[in-house]
Structure formats: C-alpha cells, structure tokens
Amino acid sequence: AQEGRYTWGRAHRITVVLPWYRPCQMERTSRWEALEDGAWTNGAPEGRWLDIPFAQSLAALLSAPAPQPPGKGPALAFDSRPLEPLWRPPVTLFFVELHEEAPVRSAVAGSTVSVRMERFVPFFLSKFGDQKSYPGRAQLFVLFP
C-alpha cells in the first residue's frame, strides 16, 4: 500500500439508514442524576451525567471528510472516476422518525453529505384515527418498537 501498488474500488453511492434508535434523546442534551433509591432522573438541571445528542454527533462523524488512502494512493481505479483529485462517492444519511431535524441538518452543514428524513408514525396513527372503533386519544396508546 505504501508504494501505491493496488487498485482502488469504490461504491457508486452510499446511503446510511438511521432508524429511530433513541426516542426523545436523539437531538438534545439532557442532564441525568442518580436518586438515592437507585432510579435515574433527567429532571435535575444540575445533573452530573450528560446524555449527548447522539444523532447530531453521528451525523457529524458520518459527514466528516474521508482520510486519504494509505501510502502513495492507488495505482488504478476499477471505475472510471479520477484518482487525482480523488473522487469520493456521494453519501446520504437517511433518518427515520427524527423529531428535531434542524439541529441534525446543521451538524452536516458545509459537508458534501445530503440528509433525507422521513416520518412513518403519523401515517399509521391516521389509520387508527380513521377507524370507526377508534376510542379517542385518551383511550388508545400505540407503541412503536
């Protein structure tokens, strides 16, 4: 690799799907504190433990510029893209059910990464609401795993 005697293979496009993996804590920092009974609370403004906005951090990491190839770089490429300047495939981050989109979009600002966000829960909730047997918001709870 140091001498540049290898051929470079690249994906045409990269899409990273990020499902709803941390409900309610994906986009904002919270402070947590352990109570005397062993339970945890995020109601203490002076809490000693921080729950960081993971979606923002992950988006920033995934949109960071790629490192240069090792050594002198590849001698050939399997595709028709140039080696100089080194072409990188377009990257899309696809968030499913992200609730606060603006902070995540700002985390990738200035990069070449595009962000796509889709919400499916409202569709399913509207299907429940359209049924004649729908008991109302106070009587129906829907949990999405």
Number of other CB atoms surrounding residue 27 within 10 Å: 19
Number of other CB atoms surrounding residue 29 within 10 Å: 10
Taking only the tens place, the pLDDT of each residue in 74-97 is 888 898 888 888 888 899 999 888
Q: Tell me what percent of the residues of the chain surpass a pLDDT of 90.
A: 17
Entry pTM:
0.68
Taking only the tens place, the pLDDT of each residue in 14-53 is 999 988 655 555 566 778 888 899 898 888 888 888 777 6
